[in-house]
Amino acid sequence: RQVASDASFHSVTFAESDHPRVLITGGLGQLGVGLAKLLRKRFGKNNVILSDIRKPADNVFYSGPFIFADILDYKNLREIVVNNRITWLFHYSALLSAVGEANVPLARAVNITGLHNVLDIAAEHNLRLFVPSTIGAFGPTSPRDPTPDLCIQRPRTIYGVSKVHAELMGEYYHYRYGLDFRCLRYPGIISADSQPGGGTTDYAVQIFHDAIKSGKFKCYLKPDTRLPMMYIDDCLKATLEVMEAPAESLTMRTYNINAMSFSPEELAQEVQKYVPEFQVTYSVDQVKQAIADSWPMNFDDSNARRDWGWKHDYDLPELVTTMFSYLGSDSR
Ligand code: AKB
């Protein structure tokens, strides 16, 4: 089968044409570049388009197709989906918890209006749609230890409210219009070669950089604040797995996924095994602490494990070993 490809970025080979054509929105955040790398390995480089409203670094630009896409511009997004024959969309554009509290109108626009655009375009063009949700979709009245998939969700951040809205709207579009909506609630994600932006769990990434650079870290959460966490490779693996899962195996459309839970003091102890002189001081940020105190401490992901075989590879010791081997503990 020869596929006409004038409107796409590169010519499409026979083998590549049988794969999904993927668009990733918000692709220059913590997860998009890693996801694109994983999907390109599986579906071919030119079948995965990374998009954002920012200019990518040269290495990102040259590693595969990149396009400007503003999710608040409905026509622009629709044009991209049509012109590139997109069949799968990973919707990563969002303001995270802490930064959302600092700019509620922008968070509302990006996380809610942007989602509406994406849902309509996905439904209209029959796309398979992945939207990440989060531990932040729960709140102080949810059971926190552990937090199951189905329970009270009354988050107190605009981020959490927008993610509950995304879960409900996606499921509504699924049942009402047949949209193939798939959603995972991510824990805090820890990555070496990309930085998170404006979350409450970001300390668990920064701690590695500071340990290597200065042997010191000032933590904005109290030492015993326990939160669910995951290494990025597990997160991306789960994302691809749930998108590839046969529809009949999914008894739900929104799943918790988890790998580990730890507190800053437990993480610091593990870091000390690599940087013995490492010192942590605590200077609590009240906004972030209140957010963390309202979130799950442990996450029950038994439905994901049962329905589509979710299994994490990284616990805390493997996570810390991997972070130090990436960031280079001897570069101190
Ligand atoms: C945040 O801290 O806001 C995010 C999240 C847990 O969703 N990392």
ipTM of the complex: 0.99
Ligand 1 closest atom vs CA 295: 6
The predicted model gives 133-139 an average pLDDT of 98
Query: CA-CA distance, 42 to 6, in Å (whole number)?
Result: 23
Atom 7 (ligand 1): residue with closest C-alpha?
Answer: 134
Looking at residue 324, its pLDDT comes to 97
pLDDT at 10 > cutoff 80: no
Looking at residue 2, its pLDDT comes to 39
Q: How far, in Å, from the CA of 67 to the mean position of ligand 1? A: 26
Digit-coded pLDDT (tens) for 275-326: 999 999 999 999 999 999 999 999 999 999 999 999 999 999 999 999 999 9
pLDDT at 4 > cutoff 80: no
pLDDT at 5 > cutoff 50: no
The predicted model gives 241-268 an average pLDDT of 98
Which of 2-6, 112-116, 256-260, 301-305 is least confident? Answer: 2-6
The predicted model gives 129-150 an average pLDDT of 98
Ligand 1 pocket test: which of 134, 285, 288 has the largest number of ligand atoms within 8 Å of its C-beta?
134
Tokens of 12: 């499409």
pLDDT tier, 16 (very low <50, low <70, confident <90, very high otherwise): low
Looking at residue 148, its pLDDT comes to 98
Strand ranges (E), the chain: 22-25, 48-52, 66-68, 88-91, 128-134, 180-186, 188-190, 216-219, 227-231, 254-256, 260-262, 279-282
Looking at residue 196, its pLDDT comes to 86
pLDDT at 212 > cutoff 90: yes
For this structure, is 159 an active site residue?
yes
pLDDT at 118 > cutoff 60: yes
Q: How far, in Å, from the CA of 46 to the mean position of ligand 1? A: 30
pLDDT tier, 150 (very low <50, low <70, confident <90, very high otherwise): very high
| pLDDT > 90 in the chain, percent | 92
Residue whose pair of structure tokens reads 């044009």 in the numeric block:
79
Looking at residue 51, its pLDDT comes to 98
Q: Please name which of 208, 182, 217, 186 lies closest in space to residue 199, comparing C-alpha atoms.
A: 186
Backbone CA torsion sign across 68, 69, 75, 78: positive
The CA–CA distances, whole Å, from 246 to 50, 172, 240, 306 equal 25, 20, 12, 14
Burial code (b: 16+ CB inside 10 Å, e: under 16) for 144-174 equals bebbeeeeebebebbbbbbbbbbbebbbebb
**What is the model's pTM?**
0.94
pLDDT tier, 197 (very low <50, low <70, confident <90, very high otherwise): confident
Looking at residue 7, its pLDDT comes to 42
Ligand 1 pocket test: which of 202, 203, 229, 297 has the largest number of ligand atoms within 8 Å of its C-beta?
202
Q: Which residues, 6 or more positions from 95, have their beta carbon under 8 angstroms from its beta carbon? A: 103, 106, 107, 110, 111, 158, 159, 198
Ligand 1 pocket test: which of 201, 227, 239 has the largest number of ligand atoms within 8 Å of its C-beta?
201
Ligand 1 closest atom vs CA 97: 3
Q: How far, in Å, from the CA of 292 to the mean position of ligand 1? A: 9
Looking at residue 330, its pLDDT comes to 47
Query: CA-CA distance, 234 to 189, in Å (whole number)?
Result: 9
Q: How far, in Å, from the CA of 200 to the mean position of ligand 1? A: 6
Looking at residue 18, its pLDDT comes to 82
Check 159, 186, 203, 314 and give the catalytic one.
Answer: 159
Ligand 1 closest atom vs CA 98: 3
Atom 1 (ligand 1): residue with closest C-alpha?
Answer: 199
Ligand 1 closest atom vs CA 30: 8
Computed over every residue of the chain, the mean pLDDT equals 94
Digit-coded pLDDT (tens) for 51-90: 999 999 999 999 999 999 999 999 999 999 999 999 999 9
Reduced to 3 states (helix: H, G, I; strand: E, B; else coil), residue 12 is coil
pLDDT tier, 1 (very low <50, low <70, confident <90, very high otherwise): very low
pLDDT at 253 > cutoff 50: yes
Number of C-beta neighbours around residue 179 at 10 A: 23
pLDDT tier, 15 (very low <50, low <70, confident <90, very high otherwise): low
Looking at residue 17, its pLDDT comes to 64
The predicted model gives 236-259 an average pLDDT of 98
Digit-coded pLDDT (tens) for 64-75: 999 999 999 999
The predicted model gives 133-142 an average pLDDT of 98
The predicted model gives 120-142 an average pLDDT of 98
